[in-house]
């Protein structure tokens, strides 16, 4: 149920880190620990909604399941060659 | 297509946890122990606090922040038992309180004139487990009208908590609930849990809880 709050926070961090390139972010990599208290499919669903909303243009979430209780934004992939669709 | 990667490696809860650390520092500086009460809806958080304010309110200066998805009903109920301000946070759909809301709520609390702070979280055994609010400890209320296996079903909450307050013990004869089994299951999830046993509808039913609270306040003011 709290996955939407987490997705919004992931979006906020991604926006901050990508800076001017936020519209060119194509992948948002997220580590989801088995003990993080997060339902991965639910989080993916919420992230798809957040990442389809400006300033994002075509970013997709990639969730990596891991042991432990970590929940981290791991990386962003940015495609600079296609500034606008 | 050339794709570059920006390494981030940032904990999603980092900004909440930073705010929580500041709340914790404020409370420590003021010598105020703080407990984050969590449970499923209907386990008795508000009634426990009503009785606590009524019975200890003259002895200890108690501040309360309540969180609800909608309505200020809990804050209104509690306000009838104390002269102090009860801070209501309406989350408008969110299933938990976060450290930002507590930061704001505490601005209205006279901390130097407070001995003890309760945060009554949104009734929910899942989401509030993930948010540090700057409390000393999470306290899970676990009522005997629930299943003994609640801790196994909601392990993160019982792992995050330090205390379990068993509630509604007056109903034990009617519900066929095994305290031993519940304690065993909870202890398997988190061996460090401490248990307190209560009944808010019986005159002496909260003595153990009150003793615990007095101890916490005494220990903090001696520190």
DSSP letters spanning A45-63: HHHHHHHTSTT-SS-EEEE
Cα distance between residue B87 and residue B71, in whole Å: 13
Residue A1 has a pLDDT of 72
Q: Find, in chain B, the residue whose alpha carbon is nearest to that of A34.
A: B156
Distances (CA, A) of A75 to A7, B49, B50, B94, B116: 15, 44, 48, 27, 42
Q: Which residues of A touch B5 (CB under 8 A)?
A: 75-78
* Subunit contact B130:A37, Cβ cutoff 8 A: yes
Q: What average pLDDT does the segment A23-47 reach?
A: 95
Q: Could you tell me if residue B7 is inside a domain? A: no
Share the mean pLDDT of chain A.
93
- Bridge-based pairing of strands B62-68 and B3-11 is unpaired
Contact A36 B130 (CB under 8 A): yes
For residue A72, count CB atoms less than 10 angstroms from its CB and return exposed for 0-12, middle for 13-18, buried for 19 or more.
buried
| Residue range B74-128, pLDDT digits in tens | 999 999 999 888 999 999 888 999 999 999 999 999 999 999 999 999 999 999 9
In a domain, B101, yes or no: yes
A71/chain B closest Cα distance in angstroms: 6
- Domain range for B161 is 14-222
Examine residue B168 and state whether it is found in any structural domain, yes or no.
yes
* A59 contact residues in B (CB cutoff 8 A): none
Q: Phi/psi at B136 (nearest 5 deg)?
A: -75, -40
Q: What is the mean pLDDT of residues A27-54?
A: 95
Q: How many residues comprise chain B?
A: 223
Residue whose structure tokens are 């194509």 = A26
Instruction: State whether residue B51 is helix, strand or coil.
Output: helix
Q: A3-78, which class in CATH?
A: alpha beta
B160 burial via Cβ count (<10 Å: 0-12, 13-18, 19+): buried
Delimit the domains of chain A by residue range. Answer: 3-78
- pTM above 0.80? yes
Looking at residue B139, its pLDDT comes to 98
B15, A9: Cβ pair inside 8 Å? yes
Out of A14, A30, A79, name the one closest to residue B1 (CB). Answer: A79
Q: What is the pLDDT of residues B12-62, one digit of tens each?
A: 999 999 999 999 999 999 999 999 999 999 999 999 999 999 999 999 999
Contacts of A80 in chain B (CB under 8 A): 2, 4
For residue B222, name the pLDDT band (cuts at 50, 70, 90).
Answer: confident
What is the rounded CA–CA span in Å between residue B90 and residue B112?
26
Tell me, yes or no, whether B117 lies in a domain. yes
Whether the Cβ atoms of residue B147 and residue B181 lie closer than 8 Å to each other? no
Q: Minimal Cα–Cα distance from B171 to chain A, Å?
A: 31
Structural domain count, chain B: 1
- B5 lies in some domain: no
Residue B54 lies in a domain: yes
Domain at B95, CATH number = 3.40.50.300
CB-based contact A75 B7, cutoff 8 Å: yes
């Amino acid at each position: 149920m709290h996955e939407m709050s987490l997705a919004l926070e992931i979006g906020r961090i991604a926006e901050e880190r990508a800076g001017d390139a936020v519209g060119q972010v194509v992948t948002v990599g997220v580590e989801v620990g088995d003990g993080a208290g997060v339902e991965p499919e639910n989080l993916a669903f919420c992230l798809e909604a957040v990442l389809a909303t400006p300033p994002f243009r075509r970013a997709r979430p990639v969730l990596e399941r891991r042991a432990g209780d970590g929940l981290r934004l791991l990386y962003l992939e940015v495609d600079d060659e296609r500034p606008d669709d | 297509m050339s794709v570059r990667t920006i390494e981030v490696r940032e904990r999603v809860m980092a900004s909440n946890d930073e705010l929580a650390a500041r709340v914790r520092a404020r409370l420590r500086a003021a010598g105020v122990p703080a407990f984050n009460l969590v449970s499923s809806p209907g386990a008795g958080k508000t009634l426990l606090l009503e009785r606590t304010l009524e019975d200890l309110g003259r002895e200890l200066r108690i501040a309360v922040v309540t969180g609800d998805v909608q309505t200020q009903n809990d804050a209104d109920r509690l306000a009838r038992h104390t002269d102090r301000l009860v801070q209501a946070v309406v989350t408008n759909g969110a299933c938990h309180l976060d450290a930002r809301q507590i930061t704001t709520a505490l601005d209205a609390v006279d901390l130097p004139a407070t001995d003890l702070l309760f945060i009554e979280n949104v009734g929910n055994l899942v989401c509030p487990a993930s948010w540090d609010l700057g409390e000393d400890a999470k306290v899970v209320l676990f009522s005997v009208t629930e299943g003994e296996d609640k801790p196994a079903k909601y392990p993160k909450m019982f792992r995050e908590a330090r205390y379990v307050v068993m509630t509604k013990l007056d109903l034990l004869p009617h519900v066929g609930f095994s305290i031993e089994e519940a304690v065993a299951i909870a202890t398997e999830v988190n061996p460090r849990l401490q248990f307190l046993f209560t009944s808010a509808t019986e005159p002496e039913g909260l003595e153990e809880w009150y003793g615990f609270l007095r101890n916490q306040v005494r220990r903090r003011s001696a520190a």
